[in-house]
Amino acid sequence: MTTRRARRTTRAALAAALAGALAACSAPGGGAADAGASADSVVIGVATEPDTLNPLLGYGKDGNSKIFDGLLARGADMRLKPALAKALPRITDGGRTYTYTLRDGVTFSDGEPLTADDVVYTYKTVLDDRTNNPAKSELDAIEDVRARGEHQVVFRLKYPYAAFAARTVLPIVPEHIAGRQNPNTGSFSTEPVGTGPYVLAGWSKGEKLTFKANPHYWGGEPEVKKLTVAIIADDDVRATRLRSGDLDGAVLPPNLAAGFRDDDGKKTYEATSYDVRVVTLPTANEVTGDRAIRRALDLAVDREAMVEKILDGAGRPAYGPLPLDDPFYAKGIDRPRDLERAKKILDRAGWKAGKDGIRAKDGRRAAFTLYYPAGDKVRQDHALAYASDAKQAGIDVTVESAGWEVIEPRMKHDAVLAGFGSTGDPDFGLYTMLHSSLAGDGFNNMARYDNPAVDKALETGRRSQDRADRKAAYDTLQRELVKDPGYTFLTHIDHLYVLADRWRDLTTQVEPHEHGFASGPWWNIEDWRPKK
């Protein structure tokens, strides 16, 4: 770890020098003196920007979009509450019919009223095979959705789906605008109109998005009038710009957030999450496609050390896709590092160590490349630690950083230090990560994992109304992943945010993988009040 930390320190110093120059001339809020001048203006720094602001293409599907609302939303306690619907749904027909009644007086930001037809249009367009929404499988249970008058929407399901209400946090778009465009290519992706507390005022790709308060918001006009989201991929640069006053708040990895502990003017917020760091092990790769290699890597990795040394304790070991405190977590699957057992598995499978310590089988070396997204310090350190652990078992992992435009074409054959995780129900994150029908479907099932027992468990978990049956299905799934891992699960990370301490009513939620843009303490920025 000493060498890695030294390299990191050098890189941080270089980034700081660069960031100082940037902060002086290109502050996203209009200048360092401007960024924190008023309590009604907030500038935050995040690592990534969305590809689209169009819910028809997947934006905001887990809620918390500032531009749009769903029929329901989640509170700080993660419980569902009414949003565009005036109450929670009425569920009939043994769980196959959900009826929502819309809130009175809601308008889109262009002044047009929200109607049931907008809801129907949104869901039908997402489900249309011609719409390029990578998350449409999440709404597989819907057989039909129709309007009953202007203010009521009825969903008819193919099968009872216990988690369906939580799916209706999906943002609703205006048919009178989006319906006149091709959802895949229309301007709505960058010129959105919604019912939410904020309106997009500008988007400089790769630099920043600016939002202004919606004075006609049905929940009351927010007191924070302007929100600027600065896109700063490099963790070190983000921390430096926060320290300089160029940012009011930022998403930071643990080691950089720790640098603000003694800053009286800033406060650190920590959110537990379902966000898991994993290594994808593509089945199409001659090395990672071998089950013995995958099992050995699962046993060779030191998860506890990663939590302690990389996350500074801000996280938990990941023994599968669900965190240890999830009610559906399979008890007894936690497993300590067992390097000797890993070696025995490889020996039995014919992977023999060579003179350099790296194993080979039938003339093929136990070697593969592991990519991580450039600028992500947490993933970089996970990847380096993983490679070090793997080498002790005789597996040579070459770590490389790259942009996603380089990584995506290679995902079929090369391993990736990836992140997954959705809140609300185990079906939400597990189906898209593991079901064989989604193998290689973009970022869904990146490992191209194919296990009939896991597929069956996923279907049971999705379709059963009985909690005991669902618990048994997800137990089976997690135990199958121990025997036949398609990924090496490493850690569940806590999300850390540092923010100028000038507002009240800030809270955090249990968060999904996505963090910083819609999640974080600013998930409820429309409710913030300036400190007196």
Higher pLDDT, 24 or 261: 261
**What is the per-residue pLDDT for 25?**
35
Quote the pLDDT of residue 515. Answer: 78
CB 488 within 8 A of CB 297: yes
| Residue type, position 405, single letter | E
CATH 3.10.105.10 placement within the chain: 276-493
Asked whether the predicted pLDDT for residue 24 surpasses 50, the reply is no
pLDDT above 50 (res 30): no
For residue range 138-174, what is the model confidence (pLDDT) as tens digits?
Answer: 899 999 999 999 999 999 999 999 899 999 999 999 9
State yes or no: pLDDT of 3 exceeds 50: no
* pLDDT tens digits along 392-448: 999 999 999 999 999 999 999 999 999 999 988 999 889 999 999 999 888 999 999
Q: What would the DSSP string read from start to end of 32-44?
A: HHHHTS-TTEEEE
At 381, phi and psi to the nearest 5?
-70, -35
pLDDT band for position 82 (cuts 50, 70, 90): very high
Check residue 32 and give its pLDDT: 37
For the beta sheet containing 142-147, the strands, ordered from the edge strand earlier in sequence to the opposite edge, are 90-92, 97-101, 152-157, 142-147
Which of these ranges, 32-36, 328-332, 480-484, has the smallest mean pLDDT? 32-36
What stretch(es) of the chain map to CATH 3.90.76.10?
A: 55-188
Q: Which residues of 308-318 are buried (b: 16+ CB within 10 A; e: fewer)?
A: ebbbeebbbbb
Please check the confidence at residue 19 and state whether its pLDDT lies above 50. no
Distance CA 303, CA 323 (A): 13
DSSP letter at 521 equals G
The fold of the 2-49+205-271+495-530 domain, in CATH, is D-Maltodextrin-Binding Protein; domain 2 (3.40.190)
Predicted confidence at residue 519, as pLDDT, reads: 87
Q: Looking at the chain, which residues constitute the CATH 3.40.190.10 domain(s)?
A: 2-49+205-271+495-530
Any idea what the Cα angle at residue 366 is, between residues 360 and 369, rounded to 5°? 155
Taking CA atoms, 99 is separated from 88, 139, 465, in Å, by: 9, 16, 18
- Residue range 55-188 in CATH 3.30.420.40: no
> How much is the pLDDT for 375?
84
Instruction: Read off the pLDDT of residues 333-380 as tens digits, 9 standing for 90 and up.
Output: 999 999 999 999 999 999 999 999 999 999 999 999 999 999 888 999
Provide the pLDDT for residue 189: 96
Given CATH 3.10.105.10, say whether it is the number of domain 276-493: yes
